[in-house]
Amino acid sequence: MANQNYKMIEIIGTSDKSIEDAVNGAISKAGKTVRKMRWFQITDIRGDIDRNKVAHWQTSLKVGFHIED
């Protein structure tokens, strides 16, 4: 197997429903322009509070993808 090379980018996803929706939305959107994504790492989770309830989730992700030859 040849050596594999990867690059990592940082993206931020948001959702008013859940952390999982924020992550999936960010990856789905990135997938429209970034090819061969392989993994992700959640680096930060934040949220807005409105009337003593979570109103909005925000997740920061590092996404690794394979660099094409």
Q: Mind giving me the DSSP string for the chain?
A: -PPP-EEEEEEEEEESS-HHHHHHHHHHHHTTT--SEEEEEEEEEEEEEETTEEEEEEEEEEEEEEPP-
Q: What is the pLDDT along the chain (69 residues), one digit of tens a residue?
A: 567 899 999 999 999 999 999 999 999 999 999 999 999 999 999 999 999 999 999 999 999 999 987
**Token pair for residue 67?**
């660099």
> Right CATH number for 6-66 from 3.40.190.10, 3.30.1360.120, 3.30.1660.10, 3.40.50.720?
3.30.1660.10
The reported pTM is 0.86
